[in-house]
C-alpha cells in the first residue's frame, strides 16, 4: 500500500502532497523564547515583592477609578480639539494664501519644537505673562477683563497644553492624508462644478481618512499615556492618583502595576476602536474573513493551510 501512495503522490495530475521543509532552528528559537517567558511568569507569581494582593486591593479603588476617568476625559478632550486644530492647520498650510500657510507652519514649528512638559508648565503660569485677559475689539474698546489666575485652572492649562501640542502633530498627519489623494480626484470634482470646500469635505477628506486614521490611532494611544504629564499640574489623573496613594503607604511598585494595568486595558480598547474606524472609511475594501474564523482555521489546520499556499 505504501508504494501505491508514493506512486500516487508522484502522478503529475494528482494534487501535490509534498513533505514540508524541516526548519530545526525555528524550533530552537521557539523553545528559547518559551523558557524565558516561563521564567518571567514564574518570577511574577513567586516573587512576593510584587504584592499582588495590594494590586488587587487598589485596582478598583475609588480614587484610582476617578483618576482613570480623568485620564480618559483629558485624552478625549485633547484628541478632539487636537484633531480639529490639525484639520484647520493642515488646510491652512496647503492654502495658496501665503500668510495662512506660514502661520500654520509657524504653529507646527513652535509646538512640535518645544517639550510638552515645558508647554504645560508655561500655560499653568500664563498669569505671570498676562495677568489679565481682556475681551473686546482688537485695539478698541474692552468688554470684559478676566483674571488669568482664575481663568487658567490646572484643568484648563492641562487641556491647552495637550490639545495645542496634539494639534501640531495632527496637522502634519492630516496634511499627509490630503496630499495622498491623487490630483485627478480634484479635477474630477472640479469638472462636476463642485466648490473647493465641497470637494474637501466630500472627496478629499474621506479618502485622506484612510491615511489619517492609523497614525491618529497611534497618537490617541500615545496621548492616553502622555496625559500622565499633567500630574505635574497636580491634576489627580491616573498616575497622580496612584502617586498620592503610594506616597502614603510606600507600596510604589504594586500601585504602578495598578496604573499600568488600566493603561494597558484602555490602550487595548482604543486599538479595537481604531480598527472599527478604519473599516468604516474603507467601504470598498475586500471584506475578507472574520478574525475568529481565520484564527480557528490557522490553529486547527495549519498543515493543510501551508500546502494550500504552495
**What residues make contact with another protein under the rule CB under 8 A?**
182, 184-185, 187-196, 198, 202-203, 206-207, 281-284
CA separation for the pair 103, 89 (Å, rounded): 9
And the C-alpha cell for 199? 470637494
Min CB(287)–another protein separation in Å: 11
Is residue 103 within 8 A of residue 171, CB to CB? The reply is no
Measured from the CB atom, the residue of 4 and 283 that comes closer to another protein is 283
Measured from the CB atom, the residue of 199 and 231 that comes closer to another protein is 199
Min CB(198)–another protein separation in Å: 6
Min CB(284)–another protein separation in Å: 3
Measured from the CB atom, the residue of 208 and 245 that comes closer to another protein is 208
Measured from the CB atom, the residue of 57 and 202 that comes closer to another protein is 202
Min CB(74)–another protein separation in Å: 33
Measured from the CB atom, the residue of 248 and 276 that comes closer to another protein is 276
Measured from the CB atom, the residue of 66 and 95 that comes closer to another protein is 95
Min CB(308)–another protein separation in Å: 25
Measured from the CB atom, the residue of 85 and 181 that comes closer to another protein is 181
CA separation for the pair 129, 157 (Å, rounded): 14
CA separation for the pair 164, 144 (Å, rounded): 25
Q: Where are the alpha helices (DSSP H) in 1-61?
A: 2-10, 24-46, 52-59
CA separation for the pair 86, 212 (Å, rounded): 11
Min CB(209)–another protein separation in Å: 9
CA separation for the pair 183, 309 (Å, rounded): 38
> What angle, 0 to 180 degrees and rounded to 10, lies between the N-to-C axes of helices 302-309 and 291-300?
100
Is residue 305 within 8 A of residue 295, CB to CB? The reply is no
What is the Rg, in whole angstroms, of the alpha carbon atoms belonging to the chain?
A: 28
CA separation for the pair 245, 239 (Å, rounded): 10
Neighbours of 107 (CB within 10 A): 19
Min CB(185)–another protein separation in Å: 6
Amino acid at each position: 500500500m505504501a508504494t501505491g501512495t508514493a506512486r500516487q503522490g508522484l502522478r503529475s495530475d494528482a494534487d501535490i502532497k509534498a513533505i514540508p521543509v524541516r526548519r530545526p532552528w525555528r524550533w530552537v528559537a521557539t523553545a528559547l523564547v518559551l523558557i524565558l517567558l516561563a521564567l518571567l511568569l514564574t518570577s511574577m507569581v513567586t516573587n512576593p515583592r510584587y504584592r499582588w494582593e495590594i494590586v488587587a486591593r487598589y485596582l478598583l479603588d475609588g480614587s484610582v477609578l476617578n483618576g482613570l476617568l480623568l485620564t480618559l476625559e483629558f485624552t478625549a478632550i485633547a484628541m478632539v480639539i487636537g484633531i480639529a486644530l490639525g484639520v484647520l492647520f493642515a488646510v491652512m498650510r496647503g492654502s495658496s494664501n501665503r500668510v495662512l500657510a506660514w502661520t500654520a507652519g509657524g504653529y507646527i514649528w513652535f509646538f512640535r519644537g518645544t517639550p510638552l512638559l515645558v508647554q504645560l508648565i508655561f500655560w499653568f503660569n500664563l498669569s505671570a505673562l498676562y495677568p489679565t485677559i481682556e475681551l473686546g475689539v482688537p485695539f478698541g474698546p474692552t468688554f470684559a477683563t478676566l483674571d488669568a489666575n482664575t481663568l487658567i485652572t490646572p484643568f484648563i492649562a492641562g487641556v491647552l497644553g495637550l490639545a495645542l501640542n496634539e494639534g501640531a502633530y495632527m496637522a502634519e498627519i492630516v496634511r499627509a492624508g490630503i496630499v495622498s489623494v491623487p490630483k485627478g480626484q480634484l479635477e474630477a470634482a472640479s469638472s462636476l462644478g463642485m466648490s473647493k470646500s465641497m470637494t474637501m469635505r466630500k472627496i478629499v477628506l474621506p479618502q485622506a481618512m484612510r491615511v489619517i486614521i492609523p497614525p491618529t490611532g497611534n497618537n490617541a494611544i500615545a496621548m492616553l499615556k502622555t496625559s500622565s504629564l499633567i500630574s505635574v499640574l497636580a491634576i489627580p489623573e491616573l498616575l497622580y492618583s496612584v502617586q498620592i496613594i503610594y506616597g502614603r503607604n510606600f507600596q510604589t511598585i504594586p500601585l504602578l502595576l495598578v496604573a499600568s494595568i488600566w493603561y494597558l486595558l484602555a490602550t487595548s480598547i482604543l486599538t479595537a476602536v481604531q480598527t472599527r474606524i478604519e473599516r468604516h472609511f474603507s467601504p470598498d475594501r475586500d471584506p475578507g474573513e472574520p478574525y475568529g474564523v481565520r484564527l480557528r482555521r490557522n490553529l486547527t489546520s495549519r498543515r493543510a493551510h501551508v500546502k494550500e499556499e504552495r
